[in-house]
């Protein structure tokens, strides 16, 4: 497994599917990895990117507190694979000298990493894989997905409700 260090390049709303998308990019290349995520996770990521704190602890705030109380540390998170149109991620959590590798959704992993300032990685092969569930009209669109996504503001995600 060849992991590349990545950063969250932004959040956007895919106007064709009306779904939130988080964009990971490799800082030393033009490689980008769009991952379609849920609105709640998009809201958590948007809050971190905009440095907005919630009045009450959200799920990722609680995870941060639990990790701290246990004197543990998230060493890194990584988006590791794509299986059956679904991305998978891992969280490497060190507690009492033992590193635990935990299966997680990429959106939760990214939100947690942003919250606690842990490094974010992605498997290099994912940058060359086909994007899951990309509608045919999106593939044929002359404007690149990345360009469309960069025009959307993170604040747009605050308008979601479940």
pLDDT mean for each 10 residues of the chain (162 residues): 92 88 90 92 92 90 95 97 94 97 97 97 84 45 46 49 34
Using CB atoms within 10 Å of the CB of residue 92, give its burial: 0 to 12 exposed, 13 to 18 middle, 19+ buried. middle
Residue 31 confidence (pLDDT): 85
Residue 162: the pLDDT is: 31
Is the pTM value of this prediction over 0.95? Answer: no
Tell me yes or no: is domain 3-157 CATH 3.10.690.10. yes
- The Cα–Cα gap between 62 and 98 comes to 22
Measured distance CA(110)–CA(133) in Å, rounded = 21
């Amino acid at each position: 497994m060849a992991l590349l260090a990545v950063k969250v390049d932004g959040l956007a709303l895919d106007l064709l599917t009306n779904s939130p998308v988080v964009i990971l990019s490799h800082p030393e290349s033009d490689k980008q990895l769009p991952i379609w995520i849920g609105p709640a996770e998009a809201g958590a990521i948007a809050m971190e990117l905009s440095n907005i704190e919630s009045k009450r602890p959200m799920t990722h705030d609680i995870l941060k507190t639990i990790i701290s109380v246990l004197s543990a540390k998230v060493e890194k998170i990584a988006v590791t694979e794509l299986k059956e149109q679904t991305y998978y991620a891992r969280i490497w959590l060190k507690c009492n000298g033992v590193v635990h590798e935990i299966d997680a959704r990429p959106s939760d992993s990214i939100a947690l990493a942003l919250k606690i300032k842990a490094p974010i990685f992605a498997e290099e092969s994912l940058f060359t894989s086909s994007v899951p569930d990309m509608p045919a009209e999106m593939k044929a669109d002359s404007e690149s997905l990345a360009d469309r996504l960069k025009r959307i503001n993170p604040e747009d995600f605050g308008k979601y409700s479940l």
